[in-house]
Structures are given as C-alpha cells and as structure tokens.
Structure 1
Amino acid sequence: MAKKQIKKENLNTRPPIVVVLGHVDHGKTTLLDTIRKTNVAAKESGGITQHIGAYQVTISPRGESSSRENLKDDRAQALRTITFIDTPGHEAFGQMRSRGANVADIAIIVVAADEGVKPQTKEALDIVKQTDIPYIVALNKIDKPNAQVDKVKRELADSGVLLEGWGGDVSNVPISAKSGQGIPELLDLILLLADIHELKAEPNVLASGVVIEAHKDSQRGTVVTFLVRQGTLKVSSFVAVGSQYGRIRSLENFLGQAIDQAGPSTPVLISGLSEVPDVGETFSEVASEKEAQEFMNKEKQRRKFIMRIGGENPEVIKKIIIRADVVGSLEAITETLSKISSQIVGLDIISAETGNLGENDLKIAAASKASIIAFRVKVPPLVVQMAERLGVRIVASDIIYELVDGIRVEMEAAVPPEIIRTDLGVVKILATFKQEGSKQIVGGEVLKGPIKGNTMTDLERGGHHMGQGKITSVQMNKVAVDEVPQGKQCGLLVELKGINILPGDVLKIFVEERNSRPLL
C-alpha cells in the first residue's frame, strides 16, 4: 500500500487523546459528563453532544473551557483541545490494546477517596503500565465526609503506584467530579503532560487510526467512529478496515455536525462501510479502490490462521503470535500446533503473518501477554533486546518440531497447580499495635489451634471476607515461638495489603500445598 513518507519537519502539534479508567462506581462517567458540560464551545455552537465513543473539549490557559469562535482577542491563540475516549470500560480499551492499536496518549485512573483501591483499579493500573503511557490518578469524591485521601495513597503505594509527595513521580489530583472541584487543575495537568511528551502528527498523509465504536443504524446502515491518529480523513476517501473496505459517504463530528474532513486526534462518525468492524481495529486510508482490494485480500489471508486450539473451556489461555517466511509455513505450523490438544491450556493464535519480526509485533505481544513463534525469519538483535525488556518470549527456529516443543514447554508451565488447603486455626483479634505499609503487628486469642508462623490467613469482619494475607511470625510473651496452642493469647506479624486489621476481626489461618499437574 503506497503511503507518503512521514517527515519530521512536517509534523504538527496535535491534541492529546485521553482515556478514563477505574473501578465501577468510582465516578468515571460523572467525571466525563462534568468535563463535557464545561465545554462552552459545544453549547454555543448549538450542537448536542452525541455518543460516538469520543469527544473533544476546548480549554483556556486557566483550565476553563471556552468557545474558539467567540474569543477574537489574543487569548484565542492559547486555546487548547483535548480528545477524550468515552469507552464502555477496560474490556473495550483492552481490545484496542491487544490489537496493537495506539489509542491513548494519557490515561486518567479514577479512584474514589471513600473506597480506595479495588480490583478494577488494579486492572486499570496494569493496563496503563503495560501500554507504557503516562497516567494521572484522579482522587475522586474528596467532598464526601468519609473520604480518606492518605489511606488511598497508602493503598496505591502498596499496589506499586508511588504518587508525587509519596516518594514517586505519578501525578495526582484531588477532585469532585460531582461538584467540579479540581477539574480545571486536572485539565491543566493533562495539557502539561501533553507538552512534555510533544505529541505530534503529520496532517498531509493518508489517514490512519482506530475504530472506537461501530453499530448498524436502521436508516444509515453501518456507522463507525474513527479516531484519526495520522493524516486527514476526507469525504469520498477509500478506507480499509480489517478484511473490508469502503468509501467514506459522510463525516460527522461529536456534535452531530456534518464536516468535510477530520485531522489528527479527531473523533469522527463515518458511513460507507458494509460490515460492522470490531472495536480496536485499525483503519487505513488507501489511494484507490484497487489498493483497497489488495489490502482486503491480504487481510483475509492473515485472518485465515487466527484460531483457538484446545478444549472448549480451558482453564488457561496461552496466546501465540506467529511470523513465518511463507504462507505454506504458516499452514504447516498451525496444523502441527492443532495436534497439541489440552483440556487445561488452550492456544489462541492471535496473529499469523509472513515477514520478519518487528517492533510492532513485540508491542502487540507485550500488550496481549503473548509468546512469539518465529519460523525461518530474521530476528534482529535490537528486537531481541526489546523482547527482553518487555518480557516477551520468542521461540525461534528453522525446524517446526523445535518450535512446537518450545510452545509445549510453555503450555506445561502454564498449567495451574493443584492447591490443597489445610485449615490450622482461628484467632480473634484483641488489639492492634504497629503498622508499616502492608505489615501489621496485632494481638489475639487462639480460638482454635494450634497456629504457627509462615502460614496464610483469611481476614473476616462481621462474617464477611475482607482479604487474604500471610502470617509471618507468632510470639508468646514477646518471645518468638514455633506455634501457639488453643486458648492462649499471642502476638502476630501479619502481611495484608490494603486493609487495616481491627479489634474484633477474625483470622482464619491455613497452609497450602501446591502440586504440579500434567498437560492433559
């Protein structure tokens, strides 16, 4: 596909693209709504924001939104635009990421100050760490009477996120998405990060970008939201998306207004495709219908090899990317891999193409936690170094059975062990003493025993499971002992992340034995 070469001197500054992630009910939607409502430009233009999966706001230097059309003085020169991706959540963003789509420049992790770090918070943090994009922690609901900002910051530190002022460099802003408190500061911080990272794009090349949303409309047919990353998309352009192509019939901005073109960082609703593409698919403008047809044929060939191998409901999925010298090799490798049948570990071939291994393959592998099979293709030293840095395993060989053996070894390593739990005893907490990070010293009475150190524990409060941790050591009369019998009082050193143990809590102490299982 012929493309104009992107030249450094032709790059222009573009708006930052921001994704908002966080635990359910921590205020993501309210934050986006509050930011959207402050965009005076949208109100004064008479447009009503439509849900197309992304929108833009225009920001003044003071962090206040203003109308670009109505500011005719020198201040208009300083107005800035931010693009927000309004995705349904982590799953959609993860789909884009796993497809190798370069979606967002900056992430905002919303954490409720009255609830703290939750499972989806950790999931969101894992996602942004893997994408290696800068992120801001927005400590929301600070106006609630039960907000505990320092406690949340400590929980974040226990999760490996060190905020500014807490020994780290992760930016954070206390906000109330409901009242708008802290929102101007958050927007200013986004623009500061954008300036630091010097976000640029070439507007005068064939357009390319990512599918944000797509659906069938009863009147207009297939409508798709594109987020343009490079180039300028225009009406009547040919675009290739996945294994289909089409000609752009119409373009609409997030206000529902018809436009002729959309430049870098712009979300735009398009019509002209026949089928609904997947969220996270990349699109590319092509110069002619002939090139579009060639692109589609190549994509159909590539997708032929994407498959799942193994049982219907495997316990673990191992993802694989294959790069080979010719199509015949792809066919031979996938056929040989299909003979490795396991009910425990399934194989997902997420990409299979011909050609040498490149940096983008590694980015996709790292984002998807996939291993790479390289058959009779070059693996440059720089690619090997990058793979080591990203933690991506490459199995390379010119002999198919050696590749398959390498994958089999990975599958065997992925088999979850058989866990046998043995309950030891129960301790009721009578007092709490010292705490440093996740380590807490507590005192209690052994209701059932004996108990000992170097064991696991479930923490229960009022009959509810609160978390799981480790009993590092036990003491009687301030002397370390191997075990404490039933009916005695003792001191315990407990490691438990994110939860403070309270008097009246119950520790249920146990040990686990892990036995390896064969690949069945």
Structure 2
Amino acid sequence: EAEGDKKKKDKKKKKGEKEKEEKEKKKGPSKATVKAMQEALAKMKEEEERAKREEEERLKRLEELEQQRLEQERLEQERKEKKKQKEKERKERLKKEGKLLTKAQREARARAEATLKVLQAQGVEVPSKDSVPKKKPVYGDKRKKKPTAQTPEETSEVASPTSETPEPVAMETEAETAPVKPDVAIDDWEAIASDEDKGDLKYYCSTNETAAAPQPAASEEEEEEDEEEDEEDEEEEDEEEESEEEEEEEEKKEEAPAVQTKRKGARESEDDSSESEEDDGRTKEERVYDRAKRRIEKRRAENLKNIDLDRLRAPVVCVLGHVDTGKTKILDKLRHTHVQDGEAGGITQQIGATNVPLDTIVEQTKMVKNFDRENIKIPGMLIIDTPGHESFSNLRNRGSSLCDIAILVVDVMHGLEPQTIESINLLKQKKCPFIVALNKIDRLYDWKKSPEADVVSTLKKQKKNTKDEFDERAKAVIVEFAQQGLNAALFHENKDPRTFVSLVPTSAHSGDGMGNLIALLVELTQSMLARRLAHCDELRAQVMEVKALPGMGTTIDVILINGRLREGETIIVPGVEGPIITQIRGLLLPPPLKELRVKNQYEKHKEVSTSQGVKILGKDLEKTLAGLPLLVAHREDEIPVLRDELVRELKQTLSSIKLEEKGVYVQASTLGSLEALLEFLRTSKVPVSTHNASCFCPAQCFTHKGAFPHPDEVFAVILAFDVKVERESQEMADSLGVRIFSAEIIYHLFDSFSKYREDYKKAKQDEFKHVAVFPVKLRVLPQFIFNSRDPIVMGVSVEAGVLHQGTPLCVPSKGFVDIGVVTSIEVNHKTVESAKKGQEICVKIEPIPGESPKMYGRHFEATDIIVSKITRASIDALKNWFRDEMQKSDWQLILELKKTFEII
C-alpha cells in the first residue's frame, strides 16, 4: 500500500508540474523579452529620427550650395557684362583715336605711303606737316580740278604722274576720312624718301589705280564686320581676352570652313586690336605661347576624359632578372612557339620589343585549365626585350614607367641574387605590378617534362623526391621574398593576387609552365589593369634607342604606348645639346613573319597606332638622347611649349644627380642606363665629377683629363657603360694617362674599377709607407731594459695609437731628442708588424743613420713618454692613403701631437 501511495503522489506531482508549464506558456512572453522588444523599438525609432534629421540637414546643405552657385553665376554674369561693356568702350575709343585699323585700312595706308615715296623720288613737292598741317584735303580737291586748266609745259614735265595721280590722292583723302593720322606718315615718307626709277613709279601707280576703286565698299564691309564682332562679343560667354577669342575662331575654322570665311575680316580686326593692346603687359610672343599651352592642356584633358574602357590596348610587359636566370630563353620560347620551315609562327619581332598577337596567346594557353580563351579582351602583348634592370629605369614617362606589368625571372636553384634584389627595389620604387617566373624547374633531380600539359598537373605527376625538392626550394624563395618585405605564393595557391606576388614554375628549356605564365599575365592585366590599358588618344611614346642604318641614316627606335604617329608630323625628341625638332620622314615596321636579318626587312607605313615598336626616320637625329618621351606638335606655335616641357623633364632627371669636385667620368648609351649606373655608384660611394649620355668621342678624354694635374690620379678614369669605345679614343686616352673601363653589365664595370682602385691604393701605400708615420705614445717598462744603446732593446707599453715597424721615435720632454727608428716588434717572443693600444711589447730601436746613437739613462729616462715623430708630409700621407687603417682615437692623438710638434 505504501508503494501504491508513493506512485500516486509521484503521478500527481508530475501532473501538477505539467499544468504549471502549460499555464506559463499561456501567460505569454516574459518581462525580460518585453523589455528587450521595447528597447529595440526605441532604438529603431531613434535611428529613424536620426536618419530623418540627416536627410533634412543634407537637403538644407544642398539648398545652400545651390544658392551659392546661383549667386556665383550671377556675379560671374555681371563681371562678364562689365568686361564686355569695357571692351566695347575701349574699341570705340580706339576707333575715334584712329588706332583701331582694319586690314583694308592698313593696306590703303601702305599704298599711300608707297605712292608718296615714288612721287618724292620724282621731285614732286609734298607739303610737310609744318607747312600745311590742315589743308591736305583741300590740296586733293584742287588737284582734281587742275587737269582741265593744265598748261602744255606742265603736261610734258610730269606726263605720267599727273595722268594717274588723282586716284592715289583721292584714295588718300578717303583714308584720312577714316581715322588715320596722315601727318605723322608724311614725316616718315620725307625721312625715308629714296631715288627710284620711273618704271617703279608706273608699277606703284598702276597697283594703286586698281586698288583704289573698291575702297568705299571696303570701308562699308569694315563697319558690318565691326558690328558682327560686337554681336559675337555679346554671344560669347567664356570670353576672357581677345587672344582666347581668336583661338576659338581658329577652332571653329577647322570645324566649319564656311563660317571661317564669313568671319575672316572680324578676326583680322580683332587680331590687330590685340596687337595694339598693351593693357596686360605681355608681348605678342608670350600671348601666343600661353594660348598654345592652354590648347595643349585642353587637348590632353579631353583625351584623358574620353578613354574607352571597352577597348583595351596591348599591355607592355618588361622581363627583368639576373643575367643567368634565363629571361632571354623565356623570350626565345615566346618568339619561336611554332618553328615550321624556319618561320616564327604568328609572332613578329619588333624593334626592341616582341609583339605577341592574340592568336599566339590562344595557341600557347590551350593546355591551361580554368582559363577563358574565348573572352580575352587584350589584342596582344608587347614584351620589351631590353637587358636587365637598367632598361627598366630607362622606361619612364613623366615620372611613371611605361611598363604596365613585369615578369621577374628567378632561378629556382639559386633563389634571389643581388641583381634580382635590385630589380625588386626598382619595381617597388615604380609601384609596378609583377609576377615571378620560377625558372629552371627542369634542373630539379628526375624532372619529367610535359610542356603540353598544365604545370600544376605536371608537378603532381612528378616523383615524391622531385616534388619534395621543388616544395623546399619554392619555400626558400618565398622566405627570401619575405626578407625583402613582399608576400609571395605559388600562383595556383594564391587567393589574393593584389597582396601576394604570384610565383609560376616555368622551364624555358623544356617549355613547362610557359602557357600558365602567359595566361596569368592576361588575367591580371585585363582585370586589375583595365583602366590603365583603356584606349586613349593621348600620345605616349618613349625613345628607346638611337641606331644608324645603312642607306637610311640615323634612326630612332620608339615604343608607342598610346595614340598614333603619322608621317610628316613635327616631333620634338630629347637631345644631348637640347631638344631636337624634326619631321617624321618615314615610319618603319618589320613585315610579319620575317626575320630581322633579311635585307629590306622594313616596310614603310603612313600611320602607326597603339602598342607598337616603331623605327622613325628623320633629319638631325644623331644626337638624340634615349630614355625620354617623344612629343608631337600639331601646330607651329606648340613647338616652344613642348620644347620647354622636355627641357624641364631632363633637368629634373639630372638635378637629382650629385656631382663631386673630384670623381670619375661616367659615360652611358642612354639616359636610363646613365641613371642606373649613377645610382649604383652612389650606393657604392664612388664619387662622380662628370657624366654624359651619348656615344663616346675622343674629345671627352681631353675634357676629363683637364680636371687632373697628375696623370696618376685615381679618378683619371672613364667608366663607359654599354658604350662602344673606338680605337682612336682608346689611343688618345692612353697618351693622356686616362683609363677607360667599358662593360655591358654594371657589376663587371664596378668590379674592374674596384680592382683598379685597390691596386692603385696598394701601389701608393708601398710608395708612401716610409713617409707615413702612424701616431703612437709609449711608456718605458724599466724592469725590461735588455740593451740601453745601439740598438736600444727594451719593453714598452702602448699608451695610445698604433706602433708600426719603421716608426721614428722622439722624446718631447727632453727637447724633442730623436732616439731612433723601430726596426722590430716582438710579443711573446714572436715578431709582429704592429702593436695596438694596451699591449706590452719588446722593441728594437736602431739609431738614425748619420746621427750618434742615443742611450737609455743618459738621453731619456723611464719616466719620459716616447712618441712617434710626425710631420706635415706624414699626416697628408695618412689622410690620402691610410685613412681606412686609422681609428677615431688615432686622429685625436694626431691632433694632440700636432700641438706638441707645433705643426700648422
């Protein structure tokens, strides 16, 4: 029973709990939930109110800005109205004063002057300003009536003048009625009157006779044109000054020739008035210069505004890397993809560049997985084929590199080498995106090549030991990149190409990974660099090289990035002695599928457009400087503006180069290679006194030699980088004692110069070792006196400086007595060359030849300090040839001894 009661109680308890739970459910949400909901609602309400307030504030700001804009427009309109009114008044005033002349009036005036000159030459009296200042018109009227009552004598005297004179005089009176000051002109005619024959007289009179008739019509036209001009002034809103108005007229002339002919007269009168205008204080040349400058800036702004993102140009790709990493091999592999019957399939080798067309890109990337070959937007690739890092600094245009993306070739077996690191620094400096070709993977032990497959698949198929070796070497390269401050990852593992540099395993020898390299280049350029590669009409061209072609003269190789070049255009190119202005006589491109070595390999083109390597023919190109942009002048007045632009750019480039009073002479083929070499010498602490970027000529030996008084000067050296040194130059340099070092690789040049400098220094040290005396201060150890006289052998402690064999010693406290020269130094019974501060040594001091030997105990004591005997010559020798062996404390001791020996 007890158990039954217990079960009943449990059942009741469970039932009660269930009822309780059901009641709680029916009650609804708890207080905490309600509170949270209320808070959320309040928050939402606050957010809505805040958003509403912000919107109201924004609308209020917009209204204020609109009001400001309207107010500015109103003020601008008022200003323009005032300016127009002022201009109109000025023109009226000039017309009244007779200073505003139309073309017709100027011509009439010139004709009148010419006629009067002839009349004066024939002896006809023309009244001067003083004699009849006001009666000129009357004089004209009288002459009109004269022919009726003319005597036979007068007729015979001036037969031809009198029959033809009335017209010129009538014309002259008309010219006077229009506001002209003939009195001033008469003085001029009198002053410059000269004898001319009668034939000249007839010529002038006949021309005046024909031109005099339509004179009134011309003056009517003038008035109409002036009215038209005033109307135009009122219509033009953007008018700032007359030169601008003239420019707008010129632009309209190009668009609508009909309008141009109609407004010709108006523009001429305008031009004339602007000539007479001296309000702005500028000369005519300055106004023309400013107008051309504004036009160029406007054209550039419009071209940059009208870029076409749907049309992409071919990207310019630079190949960088260490000399032996295989970058040339990669380019060869790209060029000779399908070598059939000795022809390079589909790839044309251009000047300084390899042009890879779209068909070849599709063909080469056919084995690459996950690559959309159907939607390639770029028309091809232009791969700059120039050696090493030097070319990269060469490729720049207004401070930014012409190179769009770079391939950095790294040898997987050697990792990052010094020149590779220099290339990385250049890329970082130019902020140029790049991918890494991890080349020579075929050198890995037991590598099985498979050029027709994706490189990722090829890696997976390799044996375990080969794959492990690759992983190990790839990780080592990634670590080396990290040391240079760059994140790197294998391209198929790279999820973020903007942050991580992609490494593509390649083998230029077997062809593995070449397709992946091109596919990655295409993907990155058309996704990340789409805006940079957008089609633009603004010209961007770089002078790459200056070459002489047989039968064609000097030509320049140009990389054309954007815009187009046409035959006959005026170009401005940088030159050694300043910008060169010339016309394009021919644009040459190699024909497709032809080897460059074949004769007549170039085809002439009338026009060349975007992303091409082109050879330009022209006059005076011999002294062109490679490495700077080429500019095109569309009009003659633009030439000075563009010339100044190039001069500024060249100055800016060379201003960063610090020259020393004494240093080497640096010669390079291009401005880019010169910059690279100077930067290298700066980091290597080699001083440069002069530099030049052009071909080598013998005169430079003379120029450089002039800086050196002695032929054995260490800096009587010319470093010629990538420059051919002619035999004549070499002979002249040898005769002058100037050394020429030439090399095509910066490191070779520097190594040869460093070796020369070391050998020179060693020779000089041997020469001056008896003159140079190192500073030293010695204290005698009295317990170690082995011999007191001839030779003195004793123990000493080096208190300061360095003791070398051959150092002359003296005792300043005993009247600078010379005790001899150190001939031997021993430490622990071993002979040494020198002893430093703090060492206790035994020295053998022999007397100076020709002097009586000095004795310890008589000439000096143990309490006396012994010092080296220095002179001005010894200090100079130390400064010039032993500076590297001296410490700071040694120089301080030199200063102390100078005071002791009273050396100036």
**TM-score bucket (shorter structure):** 0.5 to 0.7
State yes or no: 1:6 paired with 2:306.
no
Q: Would the alpha carbon gap of residues 92 and 178 (structure 1) be closer, same or farther in structure 2, given more than 3 Å must change?
A: same
Q: Which has the higher mean CA deviation after the structures are superposed, 127-136 or 286-295?
A: 286-295
How far 1:79 moved relative to its partner?
Answer: 7.1
Counterpart selection for 2:480 from 134, 150, 155:
155
Alpha-carbon contact 1:137-1:172 (below 8 Å) kept: yes
State yes or no: 1:188 paired with 2:539.
no
Distance in 1 between residues matched to 2:409 and 2:395, nearest whole Å: 20
Distance in 2 between residues matched to 1:301 and 1:80, nearest whole Å: 35
Is the partner of 2:332 in helix, strand or coil?
helix
Alpha-carbon contact 1:212-1:279 (below 8 Å) kept: yes
Q: Would the alpha carbon gap of residues 286 and 310 (structure 1) be closer, same or farther in structure 2, given more than 3 Å must change?
A: same
Q: Residue type matched to 2:504 in 1?
A: V
Q: Would the alpha carbon gap of residues 348 and 127 (structure 1) be closer, same or farther in structure 2, given more than 3 Å must change?
A: farther
Bigger fraction of residues in helix: 2
Q: Would the alpha carbon gap of residues 50 and 302 (structure 1) be closer, same or farther in structure 2, given more than 3 Å must change?
A: closer
Q: Would the alpha carbon gap of residues 514 and 282 (structure 1) be closer, same or farther in structure 2, given more than 3 Å must change?
A: farther
Counterpart selection for 1:174 from 505, 525, 537:
505
State yes or no: 1:234 paired with 2:581.
no
Q: Residue type matched to 1:140 in 2?
A: N
Q: Which residue of 2 aligns with 1:16?
A: 315
Q: Within 5 Å, give how 1:380-395 maps onto structure 2.
A: none
Q: Deviations over 1:122-178 (max 9, x none)?
A: 011111111111100000010113563333333233333321258961112110112
State yes or no: 1:247 paired with 2:583.
yes
Note the aligned Cα RMSD (angstroms). Answer: 4.1
Distance in 2 between residues matched to 1:170 and 1:261, nearest whole Å: 39
Q: Deviations over 1:348-391 (max 9, x none)?
A: 999xxxxxxxxxxxxxxxxxxxxxxxxxxxxxxxxxxxxxxxxx
Q: Would the alpha carbon gap of residues 47 and 260 (structure 1) be closer, same or farther in structure 2, given more than 3 Å must change?
A: farther
Counterpart selection for 1:31 from 312, 326, 330:
330
Alpha-carbon contact 1:223-1:271 (below 8 Å) kept: yes
Q: Residue type matched to 1:249 in 2?
A: R
Q: Within 5 Å, give how 1:155-304 maps onto structure 2.
A: 155-164=480-489, 169-196=500-527, 197-200=529-532, 205=537, 207-242=539-574, 243-255=579-591, 256-275=602-621, 276-292=623-639, 295-296=642-643, 299=646
Counterpart selection for 1:134 from 433, 436, 443:
433
- Number of aligned pairs? 321
Q: Which has the higher mean CA deviation after the structures are superposed, 242-251 or 304-313?
A: 304-313
Distance in 2 between residues matched to 1:80 and 1:149, nearest whole Å: 33
Q: Would the alpha carbon gap of residues 272 and 201 (structure 1) be closer, same or farther in structure 2, given more than 3 Å must change?
A: farther
Q: Would the alpha carbon gap of residues 150 and 202 (structure 1) be closer, same or farther in structure 2, given more than 3 Å must change?
A: closer
Distance in 1 between residues matched to 2:536 and 2:361, nearest whole Å: 32
Is the partner of 1:170 in helix, strand or coil?
strand
State yes or no: 1:87 paired with 2:386.
yes
How far 1:280 moved relative to its partner?
Answer: 1.6
Q: Which residue of 2 aligns with 1:437?
A: none
State yes or no: 1:107 paired with 2:453.
no
Q: Within 5 Å, give how 1:321-332 maps onto structure 2.
A: none
Bigger fraction of residues in strand: 1
Is the partner of 1:172 in helix, strand or coil?
strand
Q: Which has the higher mean CA deviation after the structures are superposed, 118-127 or 275-284?
A: 275-284
Distance in 1 between residues matched to 2:564 and 2:362, nearest whole Å: 28
> Which protein has greater RCO, CA pairs closer than 8 Å, 6+ apart?
1
Distance in 2 between residues matched to 1:42 and 1:138, nearest whole Å: 30
Counterpart selection for 2:661 from 277, 293, 311:
311
Q: Residue type matched to 2:607 in 1?
A: Q
Alpha-carbon contact 1:201-1:229 (below 8 Å) kept: no
Q: Would the alpha carbon gap of residues 274 and 50 (structure 1) be closer, same or farther in structure 2, given more than 3 Å must change?
A: farther
Distance in 2 between residues matched to 1:101 and 1:216, nearest whole Å: 29
How far 1:64 moved relative to its partner?
Answer: 2.2
Higher Rg: 2
Counterpart selection for 2:442 from 143, 161, 181:
143
Q: Which residue of 2 aligns with 1:324?
A: none
Q: Which has the higher mean CA deviation after the structures are superposed, 152-161 or 108-117?
A: 152-161
Structure 1 unaligned regions, length at least 5: 67-73, 316-342, 351-512
Distance in 2 between residues matched to 1:145 and 1:64, nearest whole Å: 27
Q: Would the alpha carbon gap of residues 313 and 282 (structure 1) be closer, same or farther in structure 2, given more than 3 Å must change?
A: same
Distance in 2 between residues matched to 1:224 and 1:33, nearest whole Å: 24
Distance in 1 between residues matched to 2:363 and 2:346, nearest whole Å: 19
Distance in 2 between residues matched to 1:103 and 1:43, nearest whole Å: 33
How far 1:14 moved relative to its partner?
Answer: 1.1
Q: Would the alpha carbon gap of residues 203 and 169 (structure 1) be closer, same or farther in structure 2, given more than 3 Å must change?
A: closer
How far 1:51 moved relative to its partner?
Answer: 5.7
Structure 2 unaligned regions, length at least 5: 1-292, 366-372, 446-469, 592-601, 666-684, 693-886, 892-904
Q: Deviations over 1:105-127 (max 9, x none)?
A: 00110001112110011011111
How far 1:294 moved relative to its partner?
Answer: 5.1
Alpha-carbon contact 2:441-2:506 (below 8 Å) kept: yes
Is the partner of 1:258 in helix, strand or coil?
strand
Q: Deviations over 1:240-262 (max 9, x none)?
A: 11201221122223544433322
Q: Deviations over 1:493-516 (max 9, x none)?
A: xxxxxxxxxxxxxxxxxxxx999x
How far 1:311 moved relative to its partner?
Answer: 2.0
Q: Residue type matched to 1:258 in 2?
A: K
Distance in 2 between residues matched to 1:56 and 1:246, nearest whole Å: 28
How far 1:76 moved relative to its partner?
Answer: 10
Alpha-carbon contact 1:202-1:230 (below 8 Å) kept: no
Is the partner of 1:164 in helix, strand or coil?
strand
Q: Deviations over 1:61-100 (max 9, x none)?
A: 974259xxxxxxx969867301111112211222334972
Alpha-carbon contact 2:318-2:385 (below 8 Å) kept: yes
Q: Would the alpha carbon gap of residues 135 and 57 (structure 1) be closer, same or farther in structure 2, given more than 3 Å must change?
A: same
How far 1:209 moved relative to its partner?
Answer: 1.4
How far 1:201 moved relative to its partner?
Answer: 5.9
Distance in 2 between residues matched to 1:514 and 1:161, nearest whole Å: 39
How far 1:304 moved relative to its partner?
Answer: 7.5
Q: Which residue of 2 aligns with 1:440?
A: none
Q: Residue type matched to 2:324 in 1?
A: D
Q: Would the alpha carbon gap of residues 106 and 302 (structure 1) be closer, same or farther in structure 2, given more than 3 Å must change?
A: closer
State yes or no: 1:53 paired with 2:352.
yes
How far 1:39 moved relative to its partner?
Answer: 7.4
Q: Which has the higher mean CA deviation after the structures are superposed, 185-194 or 259-268?
A: 259-268
